[in-house]
Structure 1
Amino acid sequence: MDKMQPARYASKQSDSQPDVRFLLVPLPTFNLLPFGSFLDKLRFSADDEDFSQQRYCAWDIAGLVRGEVISSSGVHLSVQYSFEQVELAKYDYVVVFGGRSADEMRSVASQYKPFLKKAAAKGLSLAAVDNACFTFAELGLFDGCEVAVHWRHLQEFETAYPTLKASSDQLYCIDGKRISCAGGTAAIELAIELLARKSGREKALKGLADMLVDETRSRQHHLKSLGDDKNVVHQHNRHISRGISLMRQNLSVPLSVEELALQLGLSRRQLDRVFIKELSVSPREYWAAMRMSHAHWRLQNSFYSLSDIANEVSFSDVSYFCKVFKKHFGYSPVQSKKEGKVN
């Protein structure tokens, strides 16, 4: 496996203090894409050229212990400081990067509780990136806050924390001293926003061309790729695009197709006609397939019970859920769960 070492640069340091300092905390099996996206945006904004000098912003990497933490892809990252060595007064933000499994992010919460609670008590802004939102929620750090959650894990988050206000239609959310980010390349937009608040917009945007990023996305940017497949052409029909987005947001809600059509400003007959013309299936069939696809993924990627997963896709009757699932896939949910590999 590869080892990713923190950069060491023999560069000239500015006499002045950085505008903003970040403490980066990668959790076990953290995902490299959001971590790398966030860190590289800091790097490009850190000095006037491209020498990675930590002049205008600075960062350190910390964890439970010094040594290594392994990413979801198997790459090893060197951790500079243990929590015991960290002087929290030196930082403005603690940014925690989560991993692939929401279950694991919840299970490790107790290990990170003393440090994160201490950081919160000292008034630092705490950011949860990707599935680190489950860690924060487990510790009560998101109580009373709005939370941006990756669309893949929205239903799982709502099931685990029904009293929290979660949303999958935001790249990131800043709610006072609590920050959440859906993950992926949305970490770039989050880094830009946090940098802009301390260093100004010009420094925050520096280096986007080097990163081959054309422009920044709004906080509520809608992914064009969400729900697309080789047979979908809904990007050419706003009703289809909006309809699929609403379906995904309401997987766990027993919303009728009539109610969905009403939200789109269409009649049920008009919505049926549009879906059949564009996708060759009715909205009811499309929604049912989406629910089964989500249930299948959850069965193979979590330790949740059949009852919990059934509820996530709006089935209150587990036996009926099993019947529909088997009809759709040709095998039972239990068989699917046994074949799944949860890391």
Structure 2
Amino acid sequence: MLTETTVADIRILIMPLPEFAMLPFGGFLDKLRFTADEADYSRQRYCTWQILGLEAGSIKSSSGIDIQVQATPAEIHCADFDYLVVFGGRNAQATQSLAPRYKNILRKAAGHGVQLVCIDNACFLLAACGLLNGHKVALHWRHEAEFRFSFPRIEVVSGQMYCFDGGRISCAGGMAAIDLAIEMLARACGRSRALKGLADMLVDEARSSSHQLRSLDTEAATSRHTGRAIALMHNLLSASKTTDELAGMVGISRRQLDRQFLSEHGMTAKNYWNELRLQHVQWRLLNSGHSLAVIADEAGIADVSYLGKIFRKRFGMSPALFRKALPGMPSDL
């Protein structure tokens, strides 16, 4: 807690949603802890935080770990805080459906000038509450197509770890939550204090918002042109672009692009792009209750029956049977 002579530089409300991921939550919170004190006593001196929940009790993470709620909306005064950091749930569709329950506290905080921070899928909640209108958003690459489809008027910044845009801050989640925490703390407490504890966390350095994730490509030895093409394939998953147009955007001919893909990935650029789309469809069937028609649009496949055909050829069963085999998932496609 603060002493009588110490005033916190940054005051944060942390609101994990049901089924939130522990990785970004733990990384973000531990970075605050290291910066909050001169030594390593976990005292909240230079930054303070509270765990906020809609009601008293605990909130269960996606890994089954319960986090105790420290305050409810009735017990706080929003003007006493600088940021409200929301950690999204495992399922984007379920997170979005929470809007009626969370709209009041989010809008109240924004009305008091509190900066709203959405981490991982929390951007779906803020967007559904109308709180991202006119703002840019950075989110996990797996959810970009789904977000663009659900909120086509909100600008998505592809390939960014986090994004500051006025009173709204967004973060892709995972380990990027640590990088976001560093940037938030640097702006409030100074760079030196923000970097405190990184060695203890076994983190080499703070990554910028534009840091390119090397592990996103399955082939580490990919060439410059192929790597650029794969990044564009991810960003243009739902677009009606041809492989010839893709090659033009990369700056080489279609034949050269195919030659490089065959050499590095054993398939043409078109086939690699189709595989990305099918992998996206499979992942969305595993992690959402959206209809196949919605998922097909996200993957840039206009004909649902054609999608069913190529999905069956690739995975050995229809999308309906694939989803039906998953416990707790709807089977009506």
TM-score by length of 2: 0.96
**CA–CA distance in 1 between the matches of 2:153 and 2:2?**
49
Tell me which residue corresponds to 2:8: 18
Q: What are the residue-to-residue correspondences of 1:272-287 with 2, within 5 Å?
A: 272-287=258-273
SS at structure 2 position matched to 1:51: coil
Tell me which residue corresponds to 2:325: 339
The answer to whether residue 120 in structure 2 is matched with residue 120 in structure 1 is no
CA contact under 8 A between 1:301 and 1:342: conserved in structure 2? Answer: no
Indicate the RMSD between aligned Cα atoms, in angstroms. Answer: 1.3
CA contact under 8 A between 2:79 and 2:113: conserved in structure 1? Answer: no
Q: For structure 1, which runs of at least 5 residues remain unmatched after alignment?
A: 1-10
The alpha-carbon deviation at position 335 of structure 1 amounts to 1.1
Alignment CA distance shift 1:107-1:12 (3 Å): closer
The answer to whether residue 158 in structure 2 is matched with residue 175 in structure 1 is no
Alignment CA distance shift 1:217-1:342 (3 Å): farther
The alpha-carbon deviation at position 168 of structure 1 amounts to 3.5
Tell me which residue corresponds to 1:291: 277
Tell me which residue corresponds to 1:96: 86
The alpha-carbon deviation at position 339 of structure 1 amounts to 1.9
The answer to whether residue 257 in structure 2 is matched with residue 271 in structure 1 is yes
**CA–CA distance in 1 between the matches of 2:307 and 2:264?**
28
Q: 2:97 aligns with which of 107, 127, 133?
A: 107
Could you report, residue by residue, the CA deviation over 1:176-213 in whole angstroms, capped at 9, with x for unpaired residues? 00111110011111111111111111111111111111
AA partner of residue 240 (structure 1): T
Q: What are the residue-to-residue correspondences of 1:185-224 with 2, within 5 Å?
A: 185-224=175-214
**CA–CA distance in 2 between the matches of 1:342 and 1:300?**
10
**CA–CA distance in 1 between the matches of 2:276 and 2:328?**
21
AA partner of residue 60 (structure 1): Q
**CA–CA distance in 2 between the matches of 1:171 and 1:31?**
17
CA contact under 8 A between 2:124 and 2:147: conserved in structure 1? Answer: yes
The alpha-carbon deviation at position 160 of structure 1 amounts to 0.8
Q: 2:291 aligns with which of 286, 296, 305?
A: 305
**CA–CA distance in 2 between the matches of 1:236 and 1:160?**
32
Q: How many residues align?
A: 329
Tell me which residue corresponds to 2:151: 161
Tell me which residue corresponds to 1:7: none
Q: For structure 2, which runs of at least 5 residues remain unmatched after alignment?
A: none
Q: What are the residue-to-residue correspondences of 1:317-336 with 2, within 5 Å?
A: 317-336=303-322
Could you report, residue by residue, the CA deviation over 1:24-70 in whole angstroms, capped at 9, with x for unpaired residues? 00111111111111111111111111111111111111110121000
SS at structure 2 position matched to 1:50: coil
CA contact under 8 A between 1:300 and 1:342: conserved in structure 2? Answer: no
The alpha-carbon deviation at position 167 of structure 1 amounts to 2.8
Tell me which residue corresponds to 2:65: 75
Could you report, residue by residue, the CA deviation over 1:93-132 in whole angstroms, capped at 9, with x for unpaired residues? 0001111100110111211111111001111100001101
CA contact under 8 A between 2:2 and 2:8: conserved in structure 1? Answer: no
The answer to whether residue 229 in structure 2 is matched with residue 239 in structure 1 is no
**CA–CA distance in 1 between the matches of 2:328 and 2:223?**
37
SS at structure 1 position matched to 2:52: strand
**CA–CA distance in 2 between the matches of 1:227 and 1:253?**
20
TM-score by length of 1: 0.93
Aligned-residue identity in percent:
50
The alpha-carbon deviation at position 290 of structure 1 amounts to 0.8
**CA–CA distance in 2 between the matches of 1:317 and 1:279?**
27
The answer to whether residue 14 in structure 2 is matched with residue 28 in structure 1 is no
CA contact under 8 A between 1:299 and 1:340: conserved in structure 2? Answer: no
**CA–CA distance in 2 between the matches of 1:133 and 1:118?**
17
**CA–CA distance in 2 between the matches of 1:340 and 1:299?**
9
The alpha-carbon deviation at position 342 of structure 1 amounts to 5.4
CA contact under 8 A between 1:300 and 1:339: conserved in structure 2? Answer: no
- Runs (4 or more) in structure 1 with deviation over 4 Å come to none
The alpha-carbon deviation at position 12 of structure 1 amounts to 7.5
CA contact under 8 A between 1:301 and 1:341: conserved in structure 2? Answer: no
Q: 2:246 aligns with which of 260, 270, 274?
A: 260
Alignment CA distance shift 1:126-1:12 (3 Å): closer
**CA–CA distance in 1 between the matches of 2:206 and 2:187?**
15
